[in-house]
């Protein structure tokens, strides 16, 4: 996954994890162990009744709700990623 992520440096991405957490932000760097996002929205799905998909759609509509200047996301917990621009309306 590291090589694929590195192709998207300086792009807004979404990191899906094995847990209820999702990360949305500008991909700054990828190391062997983590992805570093800036102006990131770190969202725990257990804090709300909104599904991950609906939360992403709302973020696409209203913009990323940055709550971290930087976040380091352990790649061992990431199951997938996508470009923020690829979020589809439903």
Q: pLDDT tens across 41-64, in order?
A: 999 988 788 888 888 999 999 999
The residue that leads in pLDDT, 35 or 46, is: 35
pLDDT over 70 percentage in the chain: 99
For the chain, list the domains and their CATH numbers.
2-86 (2.30.30.100)
Q: What is the pLDDT of residue 33?
A: 95
Residue 82 has pLDDT above 90, yes or no: yes
In what order do the strands lie in the sheet containing 78-83?
68-74, 34-44, 21-30, 12-17, 78-83
Residues 1 and 16 sit within 8 Å (Cβ to Cβ): no
Q: What is the pLDDT of residue 47?
A: 79
Residue 7 has pLDDT above 80, yes or no: yes
The residue that leads in pLDDT, 12 or 61, is: 12
pLDDT class of 5 with cuts at 50, 70, 90: very high
């Amino acid at each position: 996954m590291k090589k694929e992520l590195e192709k998207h440096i300086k792009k807004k991405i979404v990191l899906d994890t094995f847990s209820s957490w999702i990360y949305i932000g500008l991909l700054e760097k990828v190391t062997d162990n983590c992805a570093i996002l800036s102006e990131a929205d770190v969202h725990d799905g257990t804090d709300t009744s909104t599904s991950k998909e609906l939360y992403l759609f709302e973020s696409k509509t209203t913009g990323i709700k940055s709550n971290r200047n930087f976040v380091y996301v352990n790649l061992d917990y990431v199951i997938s990623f996508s470009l923020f621009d690829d979020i589809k309306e439903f």
